[in-house]
């Protein structure tokens, strides 16, 4: 493994001197996300394997090329898991891609996002230097929490080599409930429930049906089920439903129409901009629509932002992937990019055209 790192650091250093661009490539399961990458491919998926795992400490460290299914299976053997439910989007998903994309699944509303579980990172910057940030314990940060910057950076800051993650025990009990209700009613109910001590770990509204998942101690789940009522889903049906939401194999995500992700305050009213699926207690709203100006304007009015999650290259180029940044935030992004990758070697254009 040391020879792989030596080869990569040399190639990166050479690229920095020559002005060459490099496109970081792992398992490829999330290549659709973000803009088109410029440059020669830097294949990093071969750097794989679990470095350390302490079940009693709830911490695992894995190399970035480790298949996500392998890490999940290792944790499951000890009754543990990645509680933020990262989507795989295919069997080739890797730990590095999970971190770089920064995507979380249905349980994000209850436990937090990918970045909240990152304890430490080892990476190669744009000068070919190997850097380490954070560690393998919960309280390891003094000063800037640099390791978490890697979550969602789409490879624009450097090549991730290893990541240490906090893991959690699997839930003792779960029950999913379904309610027939319209969009406005579902949002009102979700916000009401969000202010109460209920063990809701996930929620989805689509096409007149609200599905919620209860997770935790058996007594707490049973009590919440009695309080909320609703139609219980059989365990097998519930598991298949939540996996389809996480992996976007649900019927809503089928087809070629552009898929938008709106991040909004949970109390925001229905947007009425196209077919909609709502997650995270109302805070994440998926829309199938092609009117980019209307979507971004509506998201801004509601106090949020819109991301073009899936679309063809022509629409990505015309609309841009992420909400344009105001000048102060754009300067922060730019300065971070130059601090880690001063010669702009990595993943040019993957996040914003100017990065």
| 77-97 mean pLDDT | 97
Q: Determine, yes or no, domain membership for 340.
A: no
Which pLDDT value is given to residue 94? 98
Q: Single out the residue in 123, 147, 169 at which a domain terminates.
A: 169
Give the model's confidence band at 145: pLDDT under 50 very low, under 70 low, under 90 confident, else very high: confident
Domain count across the chain = 2
Quick: pLDDT tens for 255-303. Answer: 999 999 999 999 999 999 999 999 999 999 999 998 889 999 999 999 9
Burial of 81 (0-12, 13-18, 19+ CB in 10 A): middle
Check pLDDT > 80 for residue 143: no
The residues pairing with 175 across neighbouring beta strands, listed in sequence order, are 214
**Mean pLDDT value of segment 127-139:** 81
The pairing of strands 209-216 and 259-263 is unpaired
CATH of the domain at 90: 3.30.465.10
239 located within any domain? yes
C-alpha dihedral (43, 47, 48, 50), degrees to nearest 10: -150
* Among candidate residues 169, 191, 208, the one where a domain is terminated: 169
Q: Rounded mean pLDDT of 17-46?
A: 93
- For residue 199, tell me if it sits in a domain: yes
Both 8 and 139 in one domain: the answer is yes
Mean pLDDT of the chain: 94
Q: How long is the chain? A: 355
Q: Per-residue pLDDT for 40 more than 70?
A: yes
pTM of the model: 0.94
* Rounded CA separation 205/186 (Å): 7
pLDDT at 175 over 90: yes
| Confidence class for position 353, pLDDT limits 50, 70, 90 | confident
Please, what is the end-to-end C-alpha distance for the chain in angstroms?
30
Domain range enclosing 108: 2-169
Q: How far apart are CA 148 and CA 336, in angstroms?
A: 13
Q: 201 with 82, same domain?
A: no
Residue 319 inside a domain? The answer is no
Region 333-349: mean pLDDT is: 95
Q: Which of 150, 169, 188 is the last residue of a domain?
A: 169
In this prediction, residue 227 carries a pLDDT of 96
Q: Are residues 139 and 216 both part of a single domain?
A: no
Q: Does 7 lie in the same domain as 147?
A: yes
pLDDT band at 346 (very low <50, low <70, confident <90, very high): very high
**Number of other residues whose CB lies within 10 A of the CB of residue 39:** 17
Which residues make beta-bridge pairs with 231? 178
Q: Does residue 119 come out as left (phi exceeding 0), alpha (psi in the -120 to 50 range) or beta?
A: alpha
Confidence of residue 135 (pLDDT cuts 50, 70, 90): confident
């Amino acid at each position: 493994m040391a020879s792989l790192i030596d080869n990569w650091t040399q190639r990166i250093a050479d690229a920095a001197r020559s002005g060459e661009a490099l496109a970081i490539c792992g398992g490829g399961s999330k290549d659709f996300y973000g803009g088109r990458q410029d440059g020669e491919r830097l294949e990093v998926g071969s750097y794989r394997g679990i470095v350390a795992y302490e079940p009693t400490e709830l911490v695992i460290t894995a190399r970035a090329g480790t298949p996500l299914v392998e890490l999940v299976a290792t944790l499951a053997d000890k009754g543990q898991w990645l509680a933020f439910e990262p989507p795989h989007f295919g069997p080739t998903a890797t730990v590095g891609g999970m971190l770089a994309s920064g995507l979380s699944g249905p349980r994000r509303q209850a436990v937090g996002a990918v970045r909240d579980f990152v304890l430490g990172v080892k990476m190669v910057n744009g000068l070919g230097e190997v850097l380490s940030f954070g560690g393998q314990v919960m309280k390891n940060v003094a000063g800037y929490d640099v390791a978490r910057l890697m979550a969602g950076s789409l490879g624009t800051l450097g090549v991730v080599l290893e990541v240490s993650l906090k893991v959690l025990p699997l839930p003792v009990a779960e029950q999913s409930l379904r309610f027939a209700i319209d969009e406005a009613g579902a949002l009102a109910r979700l916000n009401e429930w969000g202010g109460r001590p209920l063990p809701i770990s996930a929620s989805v509204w689509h096409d007149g049906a609200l599905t919620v998942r209860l997770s935790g101690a058996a007594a707490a789940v049973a009590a919440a089920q009695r309080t909320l009522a609703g139609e219980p889903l059989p365990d097998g049906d519930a598991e298949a439903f939540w996996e389809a939401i996480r992996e976007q194999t649900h019927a809503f995500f089928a087809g070629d129409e552009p898929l938008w992700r709106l991040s909004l305050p949970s109390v925001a009213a229905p947007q009425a901009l196209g077919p909609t699926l709502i997650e995270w207690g109302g805070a994440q709203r998926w829309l199938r629509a092609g009117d980019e100006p209307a979507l971004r304007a509506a998201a801004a009015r509601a106090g949020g932002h819109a991301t073009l999650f899936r679309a063809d290259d022509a629409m990505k180029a015309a609309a841009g992937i992420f909400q344009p940044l105001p000048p102060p935030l754009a300067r922060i992004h730019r300065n971070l990019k130059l601090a880690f990758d001063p010669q702009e070697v990595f993943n040019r254009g993957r996040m914003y055209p100017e990065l």
